[in-house]
Amino acid sequence: MKNTFGNSVAITLVGESHGEYIGAVLDGLSAGIEIDREYIKHMLDLRRPEGDISTSRKEKDEFRIVSGIINGKTTGTPITILIPNENVKSADYAELQTVARPSHADYTAQCKYHGFQDSRGGGHFSGRITAALVAAGAICKSALKQKGIHIGTHVKKCGGVYDRDFGELISDIKALNGKIFAVLDETCEEAMKTEILSAATDGDSVGGILETAVTGIPEGVGEPWFDSTESLISHMMFSIPAVKGIEFGTGFGFADMKGSQANDPLMIESGKIVTATNNNGGINGGITNGMPIIFRTVIKPTPTIFKPQNTVDFKNMTETILEVKGRHDPAIVHRARVVQDAATAIVLCDMLALRFGTDWINEL
């Protein structure tokens, strides 16, 4: 099982949903980066469950940084973050050791690990592991902010309800980063929550779309082919549980446009080359052009639902009906937004270190 992403700045994820700890090792960050523990806590708080629209499993997420930090700053050696699992109910999963939950990783984990996997709460495949990703990403995001690079994500769509498009990016990003339920149009929040609660009442779940904007990214980052900016961001985004699609800029909307509509005309503004539109989402030929990076991911409905479902017992090779118990999210899109922020920060730190050198992130 490979659990490491990145070349210059790399992250390794460890732990299981019901194990003693989950954690992350963040390696390759330059020395001297200030660690803002309150900001890490803030991002973890944004990921935590919220009321009836989320799971009733509430974890304190009281993280510990056990290496790579002295006197509040990075040493340049691997940073190890540990987060304890305290509110676990493994008994809820006792009957699921050999019964596959549809659209979960239960069956594929069995195929790969032959019964040695930790199946409690989804084990290493659980969205619980994203707490460690968020903690590590908070360090990267805070460092990028000091370089004038800002990242923000909103719930673009959930339960058939659409949020407005990004407007003035810096102010929108700043507003989103302080919100528990990240929408730009305040009227959408209650409408989306109503759809989530309706699905939960029916024992079902809903999915959604997340839209991320990155401002301040310098031009010239990324490679033409296999390590293009889109390739690396997509690689990281598909590591987030439940992400099933991604598009950049106008994305699939290009299919209904002509070249004269889709192209981004070049112009000079305040001595800087910019584009009049940003249909390509800040990327041409796999390389950043200095315009904001814009991309969207689709988050599938939470696969664990309380309706009876047809499945199999893969040990006894029998068909059966699954009726799950336990604590589950009727939607995860609103919690996944901060995970997407964190993942974006990590992959950008890696790309920028490869382009400008490891110490660039800490140069003033």
Percent pLDDT > 70 in the chain is 95
Q: Which of 122-131, 165-174, 222-231, 347-356 has the lowest mean pLDDT?
A: 122-131
Q: Which of the given ranges, 6-15, 47-56, 324-333, has the highest pLDDT on average?
A: 6-15
Query: Using 50, 70 and 90 to split pLDDT, how confident is the model at 90?
Result: low
Residues for the chain: how many in total? 364
Query: Using 50, 70 and 90 to split pLDDT, how confident is the model at 122?
Result: confident
> Tell me, what's the pLDDT at 93?
63
pLDDT higher than threshold 90 for residue 297: yes
Identify the structural domains of the chain with CATH numbers, from first to last.
4-362 (3.60.150.10)
Residue of 234, 44, 245 lying closest to 157 (CA atoms): 245
Q: Read off the pLDDT of each residue in 278-300 and give the average, rounded to a whole number.
A: 98
Q: What is the pLDDT of residues 307-318, one digit of tens each?
A: 999 999 998 999
Q: Please give the full DSSP string across 2-13, using - where no structure is assigned.
A: --EE-SSSEEEE
Q: What is the pLDDT of residues 215-271, one digit of tens each?
A: 999 999 999 999 999 999 999 999 999 999 999 999 999 999 999 999 999 999 999
pLDDT higher than threshold 80 for residue 327: no
Residues 6+ apart with CB under 8 A from 2: none
> Tell me, what's the pLDDT at 97?
80
Query: Using 50, 70 and 90 to split pLDDT, how confident is the model at 117?
Result: confident
Q: Read off the pLDDT of each residue in 273-295 and give the average, rounded to a whole number.
A: 98
Q: What is the pLDDT of residues 335-347, one digit of tens each?
A: 999 999 999 999 9
Q: Are 211 and 314 in contact (CB under 8 A)?
A: no
pLDDT higher than threshold 70 for residue 27: yes
Q: Read off the pLDDT of each residue in 8-33 and give the average, rounded to a whole number.
A: 94
Q: Read off the pLDDT of each residue in 279-287 and give the average, rounded to a whole number.
A: 98
Residue type at 331 in one-letter notation: A
Q: Are 55 and 108 in contact (CB under 8 A)?
A: no
Q: What is the pLDDT of residues 177-212, one digit of tens each?
A: 999 999 999 999 999 999 999 999 999 999 999 999
> Tell me, what's the pLDDT at 127?
87
Q: Read off the pLDDT of each residue in 173-178 and give the average, rounded to a whole number.
A: 97
pLDDT higher than threshold 70 for residue 29: yes
How far apart CA 105 and CA 117 sit, in angstroms, is 11
Q: Which helix (H) or strand (E) holds 241?
A: none
pLDDT higher than threshold 80 for residue 54: no
Percent pLDDT > 90 in the chain is 80
Residue type at 218 in one-letter notation: P
pLDDT higher than threshold 70 for residue 94: no
Residue type at 95 in one-letter notation: E
How far apart CA 56 and CA 87 sit, in angstroms, is 10
How far apart CA 7 and CA 144 sit, in angstroms, is 18
Q: Which of the pair, 234 or 364, is modelled with greater confidence?
A: 234
Q: Which of 156-165, 167-176, 280-289, 317-326 has the lowest mean pLDDT?
A: 317-326
Query: Using 50, 70 and 90 to split pLDDT, how confident is the model at 324?
Result: confident
Query: Using 50, 70 and 90 to split pLDDT, how confident is the model at 145?
Result: very high
Q: Which of the pair, 124 or 278, is modelled with greater confidence?
A: 278
Mean residue pLDDT of the chain comes to 93
> Tell me, what's the pLDDT at 199?
94
